[in-house]
Amino acid sequence: MLIEQIIKEKIAQAVHQLYGQEIDAEKVQVENTRKDVEGDLTVVVFPFLRISRKSPEQTANELGQYLQEQVDEVASYSVIKGFLNVTISTSYWINQLAQAFSDSNYGFTEATDDSPLVMVEYSSPNTNKPLHLGHIRNNLLGFSLGELLKANGKRVVKTNIVNDRGIHICKSMYAWQQWGEGKTPENTGIKGDHLVGDFYVLFDKHYKQEIEELVAKGASKEEAEQQAPSIIAARELLRKWEAKDPETVELWQMMNQWVYAGFDVTYKELGVDFDKIYYESDTYLVGKDEVLRGLQEGIFTRRDDQSVWADLSADGLDQKLLLRSDGTSVYMTQDIGTAKLRFNDYQIDRMVYVVGNEQDYHFKVLSILLDKLGFSWGKDLHHFSYGMVELPHGKMKSREGTVVDADDLMAGMVEVARKTSEELGKLDGYTEQEALETYKTIALGALKYFILKVDPRKNMMFNPEESIDFNGNTGPFIQYTYARIRSVIRKAEEKGIVPAIDFDQSLRISEKENELIKTISLYPATVQEAADSYSPAVVANYVYNLVKEYNQFYHDHSILNEEDENIRRFRLVLSTTVAQIVKSGMGLMGIRVPERM
């Protein structure tokens, strides 16, 4: 049993015996003692004053006395400003360290065949443009969330819905037909997703120009937007595609293939993957059928212009369009179809959608609609709603070129990592291949940590003018600590010193060492909390704190040069355990750790 739990129960017991009133042990407030105060755990006694009818100091002292007599692990206690600070015995902490050290799966709960199955949807790109920083946040959060859920004993299926059809890709297709001059990724050397994205931008340029010309001739802006030749042509392509016109479908397939090849490269660099990928072109008709079924069953209504609507006013929401008057699908229709296919394919206990908070309303509606359509799981689908990445001048807009491109960003960071490493000369002796791997590890570590350390729900700021830091509260700082420990461990191996927990349990440890073990012992609860609150940031903050404490220890203590063999072995075990947790925690964020840097 955890010491915290023991204290809670003993305090409840003490209150009963000393003051004659039963209280709920779970309600007893036990927290970690502040750093600047002596002690390990603090019991908040204020809620008991009404029962004890004594001063905070006296109450705390009486309870402290009781604890010390009744609980072996309680070594001493002190009372400061009415707070009861309890000091736990060193042997307890050393035992905690030994357990963490020997458990290769420390902090994790393994899934079994009976464990709940969680499907996590993330990424969900459109196929008309390359990935940007906003997608990076989505991908990193989605991947990390999957790892967190796995670490918490869930079976996880990572999935992606590729929005491969619709007016957006038709715009790129039309631009390529008109002005493409037969360009391909092969004959231009341009990455496929970027090439298609270039045509999307080109479309918009022409479209805007046409609108201007029409307005100059006296049309209203709204009319011009509807009547511009480019948009009419793109709509015609969409219509032909839905009618399965062979030439159009072929063009669509070709350009989508270019994009997929490009995405694959980006996903691989980013280190994310999927167990099952769905395509909107396969799901939108299923959604349409579901909507029509709903119409027949009287859940939805058809208007005079043939459009189909859901009336959600009973749920406090508005009317929602499900099929346009021309019979074509909207975003919502497609999501209904995708959901149906997924739940046919897997025995899903919980569905999680990693999608930005700009779509909060959409998922509220989706949940209600799925419920109305009779899907039992609709009501409690979970929208993992994360904040946007903002630039100093505002939102990212693809068409206006104010995006931070994912590939460019990663490549730029690898260069910074290379430069820094070369200046410091840390990788001398590595082959070019080994060195490049390390640059990538560091660069991606910096990027991923930068994004994941922020509370997912909040918007975050990225300034492209300032490169992402490699010092301080950063990924490389954490990786560096890992590399230093690995270096010590390699040296220990050379000297034949093996980390083992056969040190004398009565040894005296320093305050910093005790502090470190306490932090180590918090890892399992941290992993749990991160998964429960869907927040990789909880892990990020924990690992940073752990590493910061370790660096202080490292600075003040010798490990291999320590003369006392007992202490030397203890410190090696301590260091090894910290390295294990750093690797494990970073792994939960999809961040690798280097042997050297």
Partner RNA sequence: GCCUCGGUAGCUCAGUUGGAUAGAGCAACUGCCUUCUAAGCAGUAGGUCAUGGGUUCGAAUCCCGUCCGGGGUACCA
Cβ neighbors of 100 (< 8 A, separation 6 or more) are 106, 520, 521, 523, 577, 580, 581
Positions 322 through 351 that interact with RNA (CB under 7 A): 324-326, 329-331, 334
Alpha helices (H) in 30-89, listed in sequence order: 49-52, 56-70
Of these, 461, 506, 508, 563, which contacts RNA (CB under 7 A)?
461
Please say which residue, 115 or 551, places its beta carbon nearer to RNA.
551
Distance between CA atoms of 482 and 475, rounded to whole angstroms? 11
Of these, 29, 70, 209, 220, which contacts RNA (CB under 7 A)?
29
Cβ neighbors of 432 (< 8 A, separation 6 or more) are none
CB 318 within 8 A of CB 89: no
CB 546, min distance to RNA, A: 11
Of these, 16, 17, 46, 493, which contacts RNA (CB under 7 A)?
46
Quote the Cα angle for 176-179-180, to 5°.
Answer: 50
Positions 494 through 533 that interact with RNA (CB under 7 A): 529
CB 582 within 8 A of CB 589: no
Is residue 241 at the binding interface for RNA, with CB under 7 A as the rule?
Answer: no
CB 122 within 8 A of CB 139: yes
Is residue 487 at the binding interface for RNA, with CB under 7 A as the rule?
Answer: yes
Phi, psi values for residue 205, rounded to 5°: -60, -50
| Segment interacting with RNA, rule: CB under 7 A, options 145-153, 180-188, 417-425, 497-505 | 417-425
x/- binding map, residues 439-458, to RNA, per CB under 7 A?
---x----------xxx-xx
Of these, 358, 380, 493, 564, which contacts RNA (CB under 7 A)?
358
Is residue 221 at the binding interface for RNA, with CB under 7 A as the rule?
Answer: no
Please say which residue, 156 or 366, places its beta carbon nearer to RNA.
366
Structure tokens at 401: 């070129």
Amino acid at 178: Q
Please say which residue, 274 or 544, places its beta carbon nearer to RNA.
544
| Segment interacting with RNA, rule: CB under 7 A, options 65-73, 81-89, 254-262, 376-384 | 81-89
Please say which residue, 404 or 460, places its beta carbon nearer to RNA.
460
CB 106, min distance to RNA, A: 19
CB 300, min distance to RNA, A: 13
Helix/strand/coil percent split, the chain, to 5: 55, 10, 30
Q: How many chain residues bind RNA (CB under 7 A)?
A: 95
Is residue 167 at the binding interface for RNA, with CB under 7 A as the rule?
Answer: yes
Please say which residue, 117 or 289, places its beta carbon nearer to RNA.
289
CB 520 within 8 A of CB 581: yes
DSSP annotation string for 514-564? HHHHHHHHTHHHHHHHHHHTT-HHHHHHHHHHHHHHHHHHHHH--STT-S-
CB 579, min distance to RNA, A: 12
In the block, which residue shows the tokens 């293939």? 257
x/- binding map, residues 280-319, to RNA, per CB under 7 A?
x----------------------x-x-x----------xx
Is residue 137 at the binding interface for RNA, with CB under 7 A as the rule?
Answer: no
For residue 379, how many other CB atoms are within 10 A of its CB? 11
Positions 554 through 573 that interact with RNA (CB under 7 A): 554-561
Is residue 34 at the binding interface for RNA, with CB under 7 A as the rule?
Answer: yes
